[in-house]
Chains A and B, each alone.
Chain A
Amino acid sequence: MSDDLETRLTRALRPVAPSEEFSARLLARVGAEARLATPVLPLRRRRPAAAWWWSAGLAASLLLAVGIRHRAAESQERRAGLEARQQVFAALALTNQKVDLAVRTVRAESSDAP
Protein backbone atom coordinates (compact mmCIF):
# COMPACT_ATOMS: atom_id res chain seq x y z
CA MET A 1 0.00 0.00 0.00
CA SER A 2 2.75 2.37 1.04
CA ASP A 3 4.83 1.56 -2.02
CA ASP A 4 1.77 2.00 -4.18
CA LEU A 5 1.09 5.41 -2.67
CA GLU A 6 4.69 6.50 -3.10
CA THR A 7 4.67 5.35 -6.71
CA ARG A 8 1.50 7.33 -7.32
CA LEU A 9 3.02 10.38 -5.65
CA THR A 10 6.11 10.10 -7.82
CA ARG A 11 3.92 9.94 -10.92
CA ALA A 12 1.71 12.78 -9.76
CA LEU A 13 4.71 14.98 -9.02
CA ARG A 14 6.57 14.44 -12.25
CA PRO A 15 8.30 17.67 -13.31
CA VAL A 16 6.45 19.74 -15.86
CA ALA A 17 8.00 22.24 -18.23
CA PRO A 18 7.01 25.88 -18.13
CA SER A 19 5.29 27.29 -21.19
CA GLU A 20 7.48 28.12 -24.17
CA GLU A 21 6.41 31.73 -23.94
CA PHE A 22 7.46 32.03 -20.31
CA SER A 23 10.70 30.19 -20.97
CA ALA A 24 11.59 32.55 -23.82
CA ARG A 25 10.81 35.60 -21.68
CA LEU A 26 12.82 34.25 -18.77
CA LEU A 27 15.87 33.45 -20.86
CA ALA A 28 15.74 36.82 -22.61
CA ARG A 29 15.44 38.71 -19.35
CA VAL A 30 18.13 36.84 -17.46
CA GLY A 31 20.42 37.06 -20.50
CA ALA A 32 19.89 40.82 -20.79
CA GLU A 33 20.46 41.39 -17.06
CA ALA A 34 23.61 39.26 -17.11
CA ARG A 35 25.02 41.14 -20.09
CA LEU A 36 24.43 44.44 -18.29
CA ALA A 37 25.72 43.29 -14.94
CA THR A 38 28.77 41.19 -15.73
CA PRO A 39 31.52 41.98 -18.19
CA VAL A 40 32.43 38.86 -20.13
CA LEU A 41 35.95 37.81 -19.36
CA PRO A 42 38.04 36.59 -22.27
CA LEU A 43 38.42 32.83 -22.34
CA ARG A 44 42.20 33.00 -22.26
CA ARG A 45 43.65 33.75 -18.88
CA ARG A 46 44.15 37.40 -18.20
CA ARG A 47 47.76 38.39 -17.64
CA PRO A 48 48.12 38.94 -13.92
CA ALA A 49 49.25 42.35 -12.70
CA ALA A 50 52.62 40.98 -11.50
CA ALA A 51 53.52 39.98 -15.05
CA TRP A 52 52.93 43.53 -16.23
CA TRP A 53 55.28 44.81 -13.53
CA TRP A 54 57.94 42.31 -14.55
CA SER A 55 57.63 43.36 -18.20
CA ALA A 56 57.87 47.05 -17.32
CA GLY A 57 60.91 46.43 -15.08
CA LEU A 58 62.68 44.46 -17.79
CA ALA A 59 62.05 47.18 -20.37
CA ALA A 60 63.33 49.87 -17.99
CA SER A 61 66.47 47.83 -17.25
CA LEU A 62 67.17 47.40 -20.95
CA LEU A 63 66.79 51.14 -21.57
CA LEU A 64 69.08 51.91 -18.66
CA ALA A 65 71.75 49.48 -19.92
CA VAL A 66 71.64 50.97 -23.44
CA GLY A 67 71.94 54.50 -21.99
CA ILE A 68 74.91 53.63 -19.80
CA ARG A 69 76.72 51.91 -22.68
CA HIS A 70 76.12 54.90 -24.94
CA ARG A 71 77.44 57.27 -22.30
CA ALA A 72 80.57 55.16 -21.75
CA ALA A 73 81.29 55.10 -25.48
CA GLU A 74 80.95 58.88 -25.65
CA SER A 75 83.28 59.34 -22.70
CA GLN A 76 85.91 57.05 -24.23
CA GLU A 77 85.71 58.94 -27.52
CA ARG A 78 86.20 62.24 -25.72
CA ARG A 79 89.25 60.89 -23.87
CA ALA A 80 90.78 59.65 -27.12
CA GLY A 81 90.22 63.08 -28.69
CA LEU A 82 91.95 64.84 -25.78
CA GLU A 83 94.90 62.48 -25.98
CA ALA A 84 95.27 63.11 -29.71
CA ARG A 85 95.11 66.84 -29.12
CA GLN A 86 97.85 66.65 -26.46
CA GLN A 87 100.03 64.64 -28.85
CA VAL A 88 99.55 67.27 -31.55
CA PHE A 89 100.51 70.03 -29.11
CA ALA A 90 103.59 68.08 -27.97
CA ALA A 91 104.65 67.58 -31.57
CA LEU A 92 104.14 71.28 -32.34
CA ALA A 93 106.17 72.28 -29.28
CA LEU A 94 108.99 69.97 -30.30
CA THR A 95 108.95 71.30 -33.86
CA ASN A 96 108.99 74.84 -32.51
CA GLN A 97 112.04 74.07 -30.39
CA LYS A 98 113.86 72.59 -33.37
CA VAL A 99 113.03 75.56 -35.58
CA ASP A 100 114.10 77.98 -32.85
CA LEU A 101 117.42 76.15 -32.46
CA ALA A 102 118.01 76.22 -36.20
CA VAL A 103 117.30 79.95 -36.36
CA ARG A 104 119.63 80.64 -33.50
CA THR A 105 122.38 78.54 -35.11
CA VAL A 106 122.02 80.34 -38.43
CA ARG A 107 122.12 83.72 -36.71
CA ALA A 108 125.21 82.76 -34.72
CA GLU A 109 126.98 81.58 -37.83
CA SER A 110 126.02 84.82 -39.62
CA SER A 111 127.44 87.03 -36.84
CA ASP A 112 130.67 85.04 -36.67
CA ALA A 113 131.37 85.48 -40.36
CA PRO A 114 133.79 88.32 -41.33
Chain B
Amino acid sequence: MNGDEQFARARAGDTAALVALIREHQRSVYSIALRMLGSREAAEDLTQEVFMQLGAKIGSIASKEHLRFWLRQVTANRAIDQLRHAARFPMQPLCEESPLFGDGEEADPLLQRHLRGLLAELSAPARAVLVLRYQEDLDPVDIARALEMPINTVKSHLKRSLESLRTRCGKTTV
Protein backbone atom coordinates (compact mmCIF):
# COMPACT_ATOMS: atom_id res chain seq x y z
CA MET B 1 0.00 0.00 0.00
CA ASN B 2 1.60 3.29 -1.08
CA GLY B 3 1.42 6.57 0.82
CA ASP B 4 -1.40 8.06 -1.21
CA GLU B 5 -3.53 4.97 -0.82
CA GLN B 6 -2.78 4.84 2.88
CA PHE B 7 -3.77 8.48 3.25
CA ALA B 8 -6.99 7.93 1.27
CA ARG B 9 -7.89 4.95 3.45
CA ALA B 10 -7.19 6.89 6.64
CA ARG B 11 -9.37 9.68 5.33
CA ALA B 12 -12.17 7.21 4.59
CA GLY B 13 -12.12 6.08 8.22
CA ASP B 14 -9.75 3.12 8.09
CA THR B 15 -8.29 3.00 11.60
CA ALA B 16 -5.30 0.84 10.67
CA ALA B 17 -4.29 3.33 7.96
CA LEU B 18 -4.67 6.22 10.41
CA VAL B 19 -2.46 4.45 12.93
CA ALA B 20 0.15 3.86 10.22
CA LEU B 21 0.10 7.57 9.33
CA ILE B 22 0.60 8.50 12.95
CA ARG B 23 3.46 6.05 13.25
CA GLU B 24 5.07 7.72 10.23
CA HIS B 25 4.74 11.29 11.54
CA GLN B 26 5.02 10.91 15.29
CA ARG B 27 8.79 11.41 15.34
CA SER B 28 8.53 14.79 13.64
CA VAL B 29 5.59 16.01 15.73
CA TYR B 30 7.14 14.81 18.98
CA SER B 31 10.50 16.41 18.16
CA ILE B 32 8.96 19.80 17.36
CA ALA B 33 6.99 19.66 20.61
CA LEU B 34 10.04 18.57 22.56
CA ARG B 35 12.33 21.26 21.19
CA MET B 36 9.69 23.90 21.73
CA LEU B 37 8.50 22.92 25.19
CA GLY B 38 11.70 21.43 26.57
CA SER B 39 10.04 18.70 28.60
CA ARG B 40 9.34 15.14 27.59
CA GLU B 41 6.05 15.06 29.48
CA ALA B 42 4.78 18.27 27.89
CA ALA B 43 5.92 17.08 24.48
CA GLU B 44 4.04 13.82 24.88
CA ASP B 45 0.90 15.67 25.94
CA LEU B 46 1.12 17.99 22.95
CA THR B 47 1.86 15.13 20.55
CA GLN B 48 -1.20 13.28 21.78
CA GLU B 49 -3.39 16.39 21.46
CA VAL B 50 -2.20 17.00 17.91
CA PHE B 51 -2.91 13.45 16.78
CA MET B 52 -6.29 13.39 18.50
CA GLN B 53 -7.12 16.55 16.58
CA LEU B 54 -5.88 14.88 13.42
CA GLY B 55 -8.27 11.98 14.01
CA ALA B 56 -11.16 14.43 14.08
CA LYS B 57 -9.98 16.64 11.21
CA ILE B 58 -8.47 14.24 8.73
CA GLY B 59 -11.52 14.57 6.49
CA SER B 60 -10.61 18.20 5.85
CA ILE B 61 -7.00 17.45 4.91
CA ALA B 62 -6.52 17.25 1.17
CA SER B 63 -3.32 15.30 0.61
CA LYS B 64 -0.24 13.71 2.16
CA GLU B 65 1.70 16.93 1.67
CA HIS B 66 -1.07 18.93 3.25
CA LEU B 67 -1.05 16.50 6.18
CA ARG B 68 2.68 16.98 6.73
CA PHE B 69 2.31 20.74 6.60
CA TRP B 70 -0.77 20.67 8.84
CA LEU B 71 0.98 18.60 11.52
CA ARG B 72 3.97 20.93 11.66
CA GLN B 73 1.75 24.00 11.67
CA VAL B 74 -0.57 22.80 14.42
CA THR B 75 2.26 21.50 16.60
CA ALA B 76 4.38 24.64 16.32
CA ASN B 77 1.48 27.02 16.89
CA ARG B 78 0.12 25.07 19.83
CA ALA B 79 3.58 25.00 21.37
CA ILE B 80 3.92 28.77 20.93
CA ASP B 81 0.52 29.27 22.57
CA GLN B 82 1.48 27.06 25.50
CA LEU B 83 4.77 28.86 26.00
CA ARG B 84 3.09 32.24 25.83
CA HIS B 85 0.05 31.63 27.98
CA ALA B 86 0.65 28.74 30.34
CA ALA B 87 2.98 28.65 33.27
CA ARG B 88 2.41 24.92 33.17
CA PHE B 89 5.28 24.44 30.78
CA PRO B 90 8.29 26.33 32.10
CA MET B 91 11.49 25.60 30.22
CA GLN B 92 13.45 23.04 32.13
CA PRO B 93 17.21 22.99 32.15
CA LEU B 94 18.40 20.00 30.22
CA CYS B 95 20.25 17.56 32.39
CA GLU B 96 23.45 15.87 31.27
CA GLU B 97 21.75 12.54 30.68
CA SER B 98 18.79 13.98 28.87
CA PRO B 99 18.38 12.54 25.38
CA LEU B 100 16.04 15.37 24.41
CA PHE B 101 18.38 16.79 21.78
CA GLY B 102 20.50 14.67 19.50
CA ASP B 103 21.91 11.33 20.40
CA GLY B 104 25.25 12.34 21.82
CA GLU B 105 27.33 10.96 18.98
CA GLU B 106 28.61 14.34 17.81
CA ALA B 107 32.25 15.31 18.08
CA ASP B 108 31.52 18.16 20.46
CA PRO B 109 28.66 17.22 22.74
CA LEU B 110 29.44 20.08 25.10
CA LEU B 111 29.06 22.66 22.36
CA GLN B 112 25.82 21.03 21.22
CA ARG B 113 24.48 21.05 24.70
CA HIS B 114 25.39 24.69 25.01
CA LEU B 115 23.66 25.44 21.69
CA ARG B 116 20.51 23.68 22.87
CA GLY B 117 20.54 25.67 26.07
CA LEU B 118 20.84 28.92 24.09
CA LEU B 119 18.00 27.85 21.81
CA ALA B 120 15.79 27.31 24.83
CA GLU B 121 16.37 30.92 25.84
CA LEU B 122 14.96 32.35 22.62
CA SER B 123 11.41 33.68 22.41
CA ALA B 124 8.74 31.15 21.46
CA PRO B 125 8.27 32.40 17.88
CA ALA B 126 12.04 32.63 17.29
CA ARG B 127 12.48 29.12 18.64
CA ALA B 128 9.69 27.84 16.39
CA VAL B 129 11.34 29.44 13.38
CA LEU B 130 14.69 27.79 14.16
CA VAL B 131 13.11 24.39 14.88
CA LEU B 132 11.14 24.43 11.63
CA ARG B 133 14.20 25.62 9.70
CA TYR B 134 16.85 23.31 11.10
CA GLN B 135 14.87 20.31 12.30
CA GLU B 136 12.20 20.16 9.62
CA ASP B 137 14.28 21.76 6.86
CA LEU B 138 11.48 24.14 5.83
CA ASP B 139 12.34 27.20 3.80
CA PRO B 140 11.38 30.67 5.10
CA VAL B 141 8.31 30.85 2.86
CA ASP B 142 6.86 27.63 4.29
CA ILE B 143 7.78 28.69 7.83
CA ALA B 144 5.92 31.95 7.26
CA ARG B 145 2.85 30.03 6.07
CA ALA B 146 2.99 27.56 8.95
CA LEU B 147 3.39 30.20 11.64
CA GLU B 148 1.21 32.75 9.87
CA MET B 149 3.97 35.34 10.03
CA PRO B 150 5.13 37.78 7.39
CA ILE B 151 8.12 36.40 5.50
CA ASN B 152 10.25 39.35 6.63
CA THR B 153 9.51 38.51 10.25
CA VAL B 154 10.69 34.95 9.67
CA LYS B 155 13.88 36.17 8.02
CA SER B 156 14.42 38.65 10.81
CA HIS B 157 14.00 35.92 13.46
CA LEU B 158 16.43 33.69 11.62
CA LYS B 159 19.03 36.43 11.23
CA ARG B 160 18.83 37.71 14.78
CA SER B 161 18.69 34.26 16.35
CA LEU B 162 21.72 33.06 14.40
CA GLU B 163 23.64 36.21 15.29
CA SER B 164 22.76 35.80 18.93
CA LEU B 165 23.75 32.15 18.94
CA ARG B 166 26.96 32.87 17.09
CA THR B 167 27.92 35.64 19.46
CA ARG B 168 27.14 33.64 22.56
CA CYS B 169 28.82 30.51 21.24
CA GLY B 170 31.85 32.62 20.36
CA LYS B 171 31.99 34.02 23.88
CA THR B 172 32.08 30.62 25.49
CA THR B 173 33.29 27.86 23.26
CA VAL B 174 34.10 28.88 19.73
Which of A's residues lie within 8 Å of B, judged by CB? 1-2, 5-6, 8-19, 22-23, 26-27, 29-31, 33-35, 37-41, 43
Contact = CB atoms under 8 A, between A and B. Distances in A.
User: What are the 4 A-B residue pairs with the smallest beta carbon separation, nearest first?
Assistant: A38-B13, A13-B135, A15-B31, A18-B30
A26 B19 CA distance: 9
Contacts of B18: 30-31, 34
A78 B119 CA distance: 101
Most buried by B among A22, A37, A38: A38
Contacts of B48: 26, 29
B26 A23 contact: yes
Determine chain A's interface SS by DSSP, over half rule: helix
Interface in B128-154: 130-131, 134-135
Interface of B: 9, 12-16, 18-19, 22-23, 26-28, 30-31, 34-35, 40, 43-44, 47-48, 51-52, 54-56, 99-103, 106, 108, 111-112, 115-116, 119, 130-131, 134-135, 162, 165-166, 169, 174
A37 B135 contact: no
A35 B27 contact: no
Given A13-B101, A30-B18, A38-B13, A8 B111 contact: yes
B44 A35 contact: no
Contacts of B28: 15
Determine chain B's interface SS by DSSP, over half rule: helix
Given A5-B166, A26-B26, A30-B52, A41 B102 contact: no
Given A15-B27, A29-B48, A9 B130 contact: yes
A76 B44 CA distance: 84
B103 A16 contact: yes
Nearest to B101: A12
Given A5-B166, A12-B116, A30 B27 contact: no
Contacts of B55: 30, 33-34, 37
A58 B18 CA distance: 41
Given A15-B135, A18-B47, A23-B26, A6 B115 contact: no
A9 to B, nearest CB: 4
18 contacts: A5-B166, A6-B162, A8-B111, A8-B112, A11-B102, A14-B31, A15-B135, A16-B100, A18-B43, A18-B44, A27-B19, A30-B51, A30-B52, A33-B55, A34-B15, A34-B18, A35-B15, A37-B55
Given A13-B131, A26-B22, A33-B52, A18 B13 contact: no
B26 A18 contact: yes
Contacts of B47: 18, 22, 26
A6 to B, nearest CB: 7
